[in-house]
Amino acid sequence: MFNHDEWILEQQNPMISLKKWQTTVDLMARLYEAPAAYITQKTSRGLQVVIASSNASNPYRAGATFAPETNLFCCKVVQECSQFYENHATSNKQWAGNPLMEKDHFNSYLGVPIYWPDGTPFGTICVLDFAVTHYNKNFLELIWQFRDLVEADLMLNNQFMQLLELSTRDDLSRLLNRRGFFAQADKQVRLASRLKQNIGVLYLDLDNLKTINDQFGHRLGDKAIAALANAIRKVIRESDVAGRIGGDEFVIVMLAENEESLTKLTYRIRQELRNQASGELEALPLLSVSIGSRLFCHPHQHSIDKMVSEVDRCMYEDKENRRLAERKA
């Protein structure tokens, strides 16, 4: 789903039609005979113009941002969660320091709040004019109709993402399933390429799952799988991509600086897996996991499928080395 505190322009989603939003904003500017109309988003990073009307007189385009502390009309709408109409801003000392008034010479503002489907503020939809305006009741009510079109898109996106979540999430581990993992991991690789960063891949295989199932039953085997999944979730970052791609096999893809960061993550996963061995799992032999890891440096020469295949071999090497070490012990 969309991260509410990240710019929507930086988050790709096929269910949000920015082209339709552009048509809506352009129509609104024409109906109000206004030189500028916008859809804006407010986050902790400030305020960003998501859509700007195509008027030649409009001083801002999509992507323009304002710092959080800027004295803006839209910020008042978001803070008070209500419609705001200022028809003569230059006569109101409240707007001292407002760049839209002092720099761009806007004198009139009409805006209403836009909300995410969960009720939290998204931003605003608004029209601005250089002249003093006198909008009647019909114009004050019309902007809410435009707002509803935008919120309907956000609601549709929310429903789409919920369905997508159900189709790409593994029920037992609550991590991504195979299809969901490779889709997200491919995006992670493309992001790393844009940022010119290295990619780290870890391939994990829960040891002795067949023995656990045969001797203790599949219910405890499922608990062992869930324990490894819990360990993974506890130690990875929010930006990392993790999935269960087979019965006892998991993969993690992350932006990584060096091999040491992968080694540290491997250690933390094993430590956390031991912490998960409580309750019924205490009856099992020591829970353990084989882990292969590799750093793929920028520029990346392989697809995510090829990366995972190579790290799969590293995992089997780790499993064999640990078996040999146990025999010697």
Q: What is the mean pLDDT of residues 296-302?
A: 90
Q: Do residue 138 and residue 100 come from a single domain?
A: yes
Residue 226 within a domain: yes
Answer whether 44's CB lies under 8 Å from 130's CB: no
Answer whether 153's CB lies under 8 Å from 163's CB: no
Q: Do residue 306 and residue 191 come from a single domain?
A: yes
Chain mean pLDDT for the chain = 92
Residue 1 within a domain: no
Q: Do residue 123 and residue 241 come from a single domain?
A: no
Q: What is the pLDDT of residues 37-72, one digit of tens each?
A: 999 999 999 999 999 999 999 999 999 999 999 999
Q: What is the mean pLDDT of residues 229-256?
A: 95
In angstroms, the CA 272 to CA 287 distance is 11
Q: What is the pLDDT of residues 173-212, one digit of tens each?
A: 999 999 999 999 999 999 899 889 999 999 999 999 999 9
Question: What confidence score (pLDDT) does residue 162 get?
Answer: 73
Q: What is the mean pLDDT of residues 212-232?
A: 94
In angstroms, the CA 231 to CA 269 distance is 6
Q: What angle do CA 37, 43, 46 make, to 5 degrees?
A: 70
Q: Do residue 187 and residue 155 come from a single domain?
A: no
Question: What confidence score (pLDDT) does residue 322 get?
Answer: 85
Instruction: List Cα–Cα distances, 13 to 10, 17, 125, 209, 269, in angstroms.
Output: 10, 9, 20, 38, 32
Check whether 279 has a pLDDT greater than 90: no
Q: What is the pLDDT of residues 134-181, one digit of tens each?
A: 999 999 999 999 999 999 988 887 777 777 777 888 989 999 999 999
Q: What single-letter DSSP state applies at residue 118?
A: T
Q: Do residue 193 and residue 324 come from a single domain?
A: yes
Q: How confident is the model at residue 13 (pLDDT cuts 50, 70, 90)?
A: low
Q: What is the mean pLDDT of residues 88-100?
A: 95
* Residue among 298, 183, 300, 190 at smallest CA distance from 251: 183
Q: Do residue 30 and residue 69 come from a single domain?
A: yes
Which domain CATH number covers 72? 3.30.450.40
Domain that holds residue 126: 8-166
Q: How confident is the model at residue 3 (pLDDT cuts 50, 70, 90)?
A: confident
Last residue of a domain, one of 115, 142, 166: 166
Most confident of the following: 102-106, 188-192, 277-281: 102-106
Last residue of a domain, one of 111, 132, 166: 166
In angstroms, the CA 317 to CA 319 distance is 5
Check whether 268 has a pLDDT greater than 60: yes
Q: Do residue 312 and residue 201 come from a single domain?
A: yes
Residue 19 within a domain: yes
Check whether 14 has a pLDDT greater than 60: no
Q: Do residue 153 and residue 200 come from a single domain?
A: no
| Lookup: tokens for 184 | 């997200």
Residue 207 within a domain: yes
Which domain CATH number covers 237? 3.30.70.270
Check whether 101 has a pLDDT greater than 70: yes
Question: What confidence score (pLDDT) does residue 325 get?
Answer: 78
Residue 61 within a domain: yes
In angstroms, the CA 115 to CA 268 distance is 40
Answer whether 287's CB lies under 8 Å from 232's CB: no
Q: Do residue 33 and residue 142 come from a single domain?
A: yes
Q: How would you class 235 by CB atoms within 10 Å of its CB: exposed for 0-12, middle for 13-18, buried for 19 or more?
A: buried
Q: Do residue 243 and residue 134 come from a single domain?
A: no
How many structural domains is the chain composed of?
A: 2
Q: Do residue 153 and residue 182 come from a single domain?
A: no
Residue 124 within a domain: yes
Question: What confidence score (pLDDT) does residue 329 get?
Answer: 63
Residue 264 within a domain: yes
Q: Do residue 280 and residue 311 come from a single domain?
A: yes
Q: What is the mean pLDDT of residues 316-320?
A: 92
Residue 274 within a domain: yes
Return the sign of the alpha-carbon dihedral for residues 240, 243, 245, 248.
positive
End-to-end CA distance of the chain: 49
Check whether 85 has a pLDDT greater than 90: yes
Last residue of a domain, one of 166, 188, 206: 166
